């Protein structure tokens, strides 16, 4: 079993169409796949059909942007019904405001001496509802303002950097509820990426459990190998099931290719076992 349950397509901030991501997943040896675009399930029908034609098992997925304690947390939903009205309406509300935020990012970058970044980012956008910092990052790299997307986030667009525009996303309780209403399970994505204190992490995980959340990502392309061990321990301590996913967006933008992560530690319960 090679499960890769977190990645992105042109429906959000990935570089390839859902069908092309499916082909890449299969070429990478993935046998159980989920496409988890940000705040958007518009790619699910295409992704599922492509997966089945390529002989992979498929779980419908999504990655929801949440604001918790003034910071952004991502919650992955797996095995969701993409036709669920509560989920569709909730995601639509979550996407609202991205356009105005992007214009404000363009103005902030202009003030830093980088003109026309909004227009430049738009050239990389396929889904007009979903302009993200990644699209700005691609423009800034292409135009020579930064060496890599990582460089863009550390200098301009990461939290607290001069091009960063704070935004209020969904509430944690709402995101978990939409996922449950759609028949899925909620998973805290890449917990190693959040700048919370230990007390805040404990409050986040405790609230997530109270809301019926059952799993966290342990093995993800957004974690370092040290963080694989750290969050495996967190899963043991809180009784979380574990998930695994590359968080693949585009060649050269992340550390990890589809299907190439190490396996979960064998004592952890994979969140996907319930659906096999
Ligand atoms: P947004 O939803 O517009 O805030 O954009 C968030 C996206 O930016 C994430 O899903 C990642 O694809 C990308 N991102 C955020 N932080 C980083 C980082 N430090 N390095 C590379 N990409 C990042
Ligand atoms: Mn992304
Ligand atoms: Mn994420
Ligand atoms: Mn992601």
Q: What is the CATH number of the domain that holds 245?
A: 3.20.20.140
Residue 43 domain-assigned?
A: yes
Provide the 10 A C-beta neighbour count for residue 189: 23
Q: What is the pLDDT of residue 242?
A: 99
Q: How far is the CA of 100 from the centre of ligand 1 (A)?
A: 18
Q: Which of 194, 174, 169 is nearest to 186 (CA)?
A: 174
Q: What is the pLDDT of residue 127?
A: 97
Backbone angles phi, psi at 254, to 5 degrees: -135, 180
Provide the 10 A C-beta neighbour count for residue 111: 10
Q: What is the pLDDT of residue 40?
A: 98
Cβ of residue 74 lying under 6 Å from some atom of ligand 1: no
Rounded Cα distance, 13 and 240, in Å: 28
Q: What is the pLDDT of residue 37?
A: 98
What is the end-to-end Cα distance of the chain in Å, rounded? 11
Query: Is residue 54 domain-shared with residue 42, that is, in the same domain?
Result: yes
Query: Is residue 200 domain-shared with residue 246, that is, in the same domain?
Result: yes
Residue 200 domain-assigned?
A: yes
Residue 26 domain-assigned?
A: yes
Q: How far is the CA of 132 from the centre of ligand 2 (A)?
A: 8
Q: What is the pLDDT of residue 11?
A: 98
Q: What is the pLDDT of residue 31?
A: 98
Residue 72 domain-assigned?
A: yes
- In contact, 7 and 249? CB cutoff 8 Å: yes
Task: Find the domain containing 143 and state its range.
Answer: 99-157
In terms of C-beta density within 10 A (0-12 exposed, 13-18 middle, 19 or more buried), how is residue 113 classed? exposed
Query: Is residue 44 domain-shared with residue 136, that is, in the same domain?
Result: no
Cβ of residue 150 lying under 6 Å from some atom of ligand 1: yes
Query: Is residue 85 domain-shared with residue 205, that is, in the same domain?
Result: yes
CATH of the domain at 138: 1.10.150.650
Query: Is residue 181 domain-shared with residue 145, that is, in the same domain?
Result: no
Query: Is residue 147 domain-shared with residue 128, that is, in the same domain?
Result: yes
Q: What is the pLDDT of residue 253?
A: 93
Cβ of residue 190 lying under 6 Å from some atom of ligand 1: no
Q: Whose CA is nearest to atom 5 of ligand 1?
A: 133
Q: What is the pLDDT of residue 9?
A: 98
Residue 83 domain-assigned?
A: yes
- Total number of domains in the chain: 2
Backbone angles phi, psi at 166, to 5 degrees: -65, 145
Query: Is residue 133 domain-shared with residue 197, that is, in the same domain?
Result: no
Question: What average pLDDT values come out for the chain (276 residues) when binned by 10 residues?
Answer: 98 98 98 98 98 98 98 98 98 97 98 98 97 98 97 97 97 99 98 98 98 98 98 98 98 94 98 97
């Amino acid at each position: 079993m090679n499960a890769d349950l977190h990645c992105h397509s042109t429906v959000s901030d990935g570089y390839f169409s859902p069908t092309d991501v499916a082909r890449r997943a299969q070429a990478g040896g993935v046998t159980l796949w989920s496409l988890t675009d940000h705040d958007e399930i518009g790619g699910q029908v295409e992704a599922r059909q492509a997966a089945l034609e390529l002989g992979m098992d498929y779980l419908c997925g999504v990655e929801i942007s949440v604001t918790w304690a003034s910071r952004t947390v991502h919650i992955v939903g797996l095995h969701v019904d993409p036709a669920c009205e509560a989920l569709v309406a909730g995601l639509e509300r979550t996407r609202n405001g991205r356009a105005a935020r992007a214009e404000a990012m363009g103005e902030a970058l202009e003030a830093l001496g980088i003109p026309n970044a909004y227009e430049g980012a738009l050239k990389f956008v396929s889904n007009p509802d979903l302009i993200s910092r990644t699209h700005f990052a691609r423009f800034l790299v292409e135009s020579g303002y930064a060496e890599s997307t990582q460089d863009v986030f550390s200098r301009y667009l990461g939290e607290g950097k001069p091009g960063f525009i704070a935004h209020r996303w969904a509430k944690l309780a709402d995101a978990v509820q939409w996922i449950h209403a759609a028949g899925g399970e909620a998973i805290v994505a890449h917990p190693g990426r959040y700048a919370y204190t230990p007390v805040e992490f404990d409050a986040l995980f405790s609230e997530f459990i109270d809301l019926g959340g059952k799993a966290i990502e342990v093995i993800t392309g957004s974690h370092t190998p040290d963080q694989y061990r750290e969050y495996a321990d967190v899963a043991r301590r809180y009784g979380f099931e574990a998930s695994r996913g590359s968080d693949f967006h585009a060649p050269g933008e992340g550390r990890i290719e589809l299907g190439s992560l190490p396996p979960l530690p064998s004592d952890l319960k994979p969140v996907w076992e319930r659906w096999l």
